[in-house]
Amino acid sequence: MTLGVSRDILGESTVTFGESRDIPGESNCAFKASNSLLRHPAMIQNIIVDLPANNNIKYQGNMNTKVFLAIDLGATSGRAVIGTINGGELQIMEIHRFPNRILQIHGQYFWNIFSLFEEIKTALVKCRQQGITPQSVGIDTWGVDFGYIAPDGAILGLPRAYRDPYTIGAPEEVFAHIPRNDLYRATGIQIMNFNSLFQIYRARQAKYAPCAAAEHILFMPDLLAYMLTGRQTCEYTIASTSQMLNPYTGTFDDALLKSLNIPVTLPHQPIQPGTIIGAISDDIARETGIAPIPVIAVAGHDTASAVAAVPALQPGFAYLSSGTWSLMGIENSSPIINETTLKHNFTNEGGIENTTRLLKNITGLWLLEECKREWIADGRNYTYPQIVEMAKNAADFPSIINPDDPAFANPQSMTAAITDECKRSNQPVPQTDGDIASIIFHSLAGRYAEVLSLLQDISHTAITCLHIIGGGSQNDYLNTLTAQAIRLPVLAGPAEATAIGNIMIQAKAAGLVADRWEMRQIIARSFPVKTFLP
Give long-range contacts, CB 8 A cutoff, 24+ apart: 199-205: 199/144, 199/145, 199/146, 199/160, 199/162, 199/166, 199/167, 199/170, 200/262, 200/266, 201/170, 201/173, 201/174, 201/260, 201/262, 202/166, 202/167, 202/170, 202/173, 203/160, 203/166, 204/261, 204/262, 205/173
Q: How far apart are CA 414 and CA 409, in angstroms?
A: 9
30-56: string of b/e by CB count within 10 Å (b at 16+)? Answer: ebebeeeebeeeeebeebebeeeeebe
Question: What residues contact 282, with CB distance under 8 A and at least 6 apart?
Answer: 54, 292
Q: In 10 A of CB 202, how many CB atoms?
A: 22
CA angle 309, 315, 319 (to 5 degrees): 50
Active site residue 433: no
Q: How far apart are CA 179 and CA 276, in angstroms?
A: 38
Catalytic residue among 145, 302, 433, 435: 302
Query: Are residues 259 and 253 in contact, defined by beta-carbon separation less than 8 angstroms?
Result: no
Beta bridge partners of 347: 359
Instruction: Please classify residue 381 by burial: count the beta carbons closer than 10 Å to its beta carbon, then call 0-12 exposed, 13-18 middle and 19+ buried.
Output: exposed
CA angle 293, 71, 322 (to 5 degrees): 150
Q: In 10 A of CB 260, how many CB atoms?
A: 17
Beta bridge partners of 492: 468, 530
Please give the positions annotated as active site.
302
